[in-house]
Amino acid sequence: MDGLEDGLTQRYLDLEWAGAIESETAINPGCLLTFPYEFPESEAEIRLDTDEFSAVCPWTGLPDSGTLELMYVPQEHCIELKSFKYYLLSYRSVGIVQEHAANRILWDLVNVCMPRRMSLTLDYKTRGGIHTVVAVSYPQ
């Protein structure tokens, strides 16, 4: 029996994802902590990355995941890593397009630590045959 005979084709066409999609108000920049940087005259670059970033498509609720790379030159404050991880986890059920996620993360981090400069790249896993990489920086 093929899919046409047992109704599988119609069941497939009717298939919808019913996962919860949270609004951007679920993003928690309030958990971001910093600590004083003892070498403000230094031009040292700090690089952070994780392959565990995820959010959801705001229209389908399907997961978007990928690698996040952050580079910054601190001025007076550094980002505390555990709080950064918790901040990123607050995106897990948020419906946000990839382009907006990159900009939102950059601006939340700039606002909390006021670096000399910062750049962020979100490299998303391919979905629908299209690979997306979003890169943003401060100052522009």
Catalytic sites, residue numbers: 57, 64
Instruction: Enumerate residues 6+ apart whose C-beta is below 8 A from 46.
Output: 71, 72, 73, 74, 78, 79
- Measure Cα distances from 102 to 14, 38, 45, 55, 129 in Å: 33, 28, 20, 11, 21
The H-or-E segment that residue 55 falls in is strand 46-56
Q: Tell me 137's DSSP state.
A: E
CB 105 within 8 A of CB 133: no
